Chains A and B, each alone.
Chain A
Amino acid sequence: MKRAAAGADPAAPRLVLTGITKHYPAVVANDGIDLSVAPGEIHAVLGENGAGKSTLMKIIYGMVRPDAGRIAVDGVPVTIAGPAAARALGIGMVFQHFSLFETLTVADNIALALRAGVSRRALGRRIRDVSRQYGLPLDPARYVHTMTVGERQRVEIVRCLLQDPRLLIMDEPTSVLAPPAVAQLFATLRTLAAEGVSILYISHKLDEIRALCERATVLRAGRVTGECDPRRETVASLARMMIGRDLPHPRHAAATPGATVLAVDRLTLAAQDPFGVALDSVSLAVRAGEIVGIAGISGNGQRELVAAITGERTVPRADAVRIDTTPVGRLDADARRALGMAYVPEERIGRAAIPVMSLAENALLTAHRQGLVARGFIRRPAMRAFAQRVIAAFGVRAAGPDAVAESLSGGNLQKFIVGREMQQAPRVFVAAHPTWGVDVGAAAQIRQALVDLRDRGVAVLVTSDELDELFEISDCIAVMAGGRLSPPMPARETSAEAVGLLMAGPRTDAREAA
């Protein structure tokens, strides 16, 4: 490890950024950012979504060219023309959305990154050596698409480590991991830091940063708003630096549930595509006035379950899914919506909203029953008024009902979509990852809206891979692992550890749970 660039000063910081600026047509993603990382330091970059963290990391990794600013590695000024140049400087990056090739094996994926000239046998040995050294077990012959996200991340990390990086960038690495795997990852990162590798750790999870990092740079709206030692800060003080005000906490009184509104009864469903998950006798009941949370690492069947509940996919046995007592298993999504179902899908763009259409037109897509259509003709004033109500009720920052969906930031568009569904006075509300990729302020608002909805007597089902979120809003939590659903547990009587163990579940191997 640790070869240094020619002319490098061993006492110099590993990385120094000075005045890094990057403009995009509508926004300034980075505005004069200064940052310095010492050898062997674990340095957090903290900020809300859209604060400019990812852009900054892509600039360091050569994927985005800055408009202005200087970069120095080991005291030597450099221009990073692309990822290949970054890697030659000893910079490695583990992406939030992995840069792996699913149809190839682990060995192929790693060989691609190491370039030609390594024999397969030697490579297999090196993979096993490095993965043992850092406690990241891997089978070189496995295909990536058969692996859990936690295992995939191991592949990414091992792939980086085999290139002997001196600066490792990790973009939201824990968003896909079960709690035991997070502990394992932190142990690995500490070992690396002790060997002199500098680590840039991107996250919006404040307690993780307090546990792992010795320095933190906080970004807000593209600028550095603070630099601190996170071990000496509280979650509240870090949050204030990050969002510029105190973080609201949702009010969450005990639930008073009524009759069962949504029932899933021993639902078994084969996987639809080679990368899908089969559902194995899943049963679930959501009562009026309660929030049921489904925890689980993504890719364990949550997507398939939600599709079967909402009618995106119909199921052979009609009474496997019921709204009140009506069997709806064979009804399509629109027919289920007519019975009072509302649904916030996982992907904002493309599933929940059409990016090139206006907010008003996007409202029409699911809310057409709210008097927005008469005899097949669109009632434009009613459509715009509906969208305007959603914008006002949820504080969506947009130019108005005619603003194009893709012009909104992720958090604002998500607020609009959640609002669009809630304004339809549903009786069953299904939300998949409602705050995924949404900044903490908007996320808090969405959670509060879900709790308020529950208090109005709606049956609410939420899937999420953020445990904190589920514990914050759910009355009952069930865990999905390998296509099976655990029995529901009252949220107030269970713990994150218990849920975490279930999440690691049968599909994950014992080593990851250990």
Chain B
Amino acid sequence: MDTAVQLVVLTLAAATPLLLAALGELVTERSGVLNLGVEGMMLTGAVCAFIACVKTGSPWLGVAAGAVAGAGLAAIFGVLVLTLTANQVASGLALSLFGVGLSAFAGLDYVSAVVDGIRPLAIPGLTTLPVVGPLLFGQNPLVYVALVLLVAIQWMLHRTHAGLVVRAVGESPESADAIGYNVLAIRYGCVLFGGACAGVAGAYLSLAYTPMWSENMTAGRGWIALALVVFATWKPWRVLAGAVLFGGVTLAQFQAQAAGVDVEPQLLAMLPYVATIVVLAIISRNPMLILRNAPASLGRPFRPDR
């Protein structure tokens, strides 16, 4: 029993950075903008969060710094692809490379630094309850933040007027413009939100999951988050399912290594990425599924003629 609970807790912990980053990217893509720079924004968020935490001693200020840093990088992307209508794929790839380099440079002096990061909740009398204790009261606060964000985005996209507007802009920016919406402003908002989410995902890695900074510590999670959005066919609940799946695979890899399974560790480390490729291949076998749900204007620049 305890092992099962433990497994759920660990899986959620591994899934949280994927969930945060993928939810942000989902909102960005729903507005019709493809930002491939998630990895770069996560790394920049991670390093800025870590530095802020070292400087101020407050991990929560660190998380805020991570969000601002992610959004800042996203703002650069926004100027490029929205205002200057640059190619979104090329700009996003460039943003990723830029973020990797920038974070490595900014974090040079902090590689061996230690912080007192964000610890899992420990509420006397509650956390020690059997089963529900560790699940409901014993995880890292950012895990709950991610889950609340999931519910909020689901509700926002499908139950509110603002969400309807975001979906409409993603489907046809021309039509949204024609009925008087400011497409650029809406897309900027979604891009910045996506950047902030990626930044928080990075902060979770450097302050909560493994409270330290090392170069390239996201290890491709940004790319997996991108794949997750397609895997989820742009639906928030399925992002959770995908994040748990990939979190679980990541975990299985560590567990297998710890248990001394006689396989090269490098092969095991490939598992999450192999799983990504396999799942994407399976999803793509049904083009209807993607066609029906994909934001129709995804990746296509739009600029009103005035």
Contacts and interface: CB of A to CB of B under 8 A. Distances in A.
Interface string A59-98: 0011111000000000000000111101100000101001
A276 B121 CA distance: 53
B305 A64 contact: yes
A93 B174 CA distance: 14
Most chain A CB within a 10 A radius of its CB, from B162, B164, B306: B306
B215 interface: no
B168 interface: yes
A40 to B, nearest CB: 25
Contact of A116 (B161, B172, B306): B161
Contacts, number: 74
B177 A102 contact: no
B285 interface: no
Interface in B166-206: 167-168, 171-172, 174-182
Interface of A: 58, 61-65, 81-84, 86-87, 93, 95, 98-104, 108, 111-113, 115-116, 159, 273-274
Given A63-B306, A64-B305, A273-B291, A104 B177 contact: no
B168 A112 contact: yes
B165 interface: yes
A82 B288 contact: no
A99 B178 contact: yes
Contact of A273 (B171, B288, B306): B288
Given A62-B306, A99-B175, A103-B292, 14 more contacts: A63-B305, A83-B178, A83-B180, A84-B180, A84-B182, A99-B172, A100-B172, A102-B172, A104-B168, A108-B168, A111-B161, A112-B181, A115-B161, A274-B288
Contacts of A111: 161, 164
Interface string B120-163: 00000000000000000000000000000000000000000110
A98 B171 CA distance: 13
Contacts of B305: 58, 63-64
Contacts of A93: 178
B296 interface: yes
Contacts of A100: 172, 175
Contact of A274 (B162, B181, B292): B292
Contacts of B168: 101, 104, 108, 112
Contact of B177 (A81, A83, A103, A116): A83
Nearest to A66: B306
Interface string B270-306: 0000000000000000011001100010000000111
A103 B298 CA distance: 14
B173 to A, nearest CB: 11
A103 B178 contact: no
Contact of B304 (A63, A87, A104): A63
Nearest to A61: B178
Contacts of B296: 102-103
Given A101-B171, A101-B175, A102-B171, A87 B161 contact: no
Interface on chain A toward B: helix, strand, loop, or mixed SS? loop
Contacts of B288: 273-274
A86 B306 CA distance: 14
B291 A82 contact: no
Nearest to B289: A274
Nearest to B294: A103
Contacts of A104: 164, 167-168, 171
Contacts of A102: 171-172, 296
Contact of A95 (B167, B171, B178, B287): B178
A115 B180 CA distance: 10
Contacts of A63: 177-178, 304-306
Contacts of B162: 116
A108 B178 contact: no
A112 B164 contact: yes
Nearest to B161: A116
Contacts of B292: 103, 274
Nearest to A84: B180
B280 to A, nearest CB: 20
A52 to B, nearest CB: 15
B157 to A, nearest CB: 12
7 contacts: A82-B182, A99-B174, A101-B172, A104-B164, A113-B180, A116-B161, A273-B287
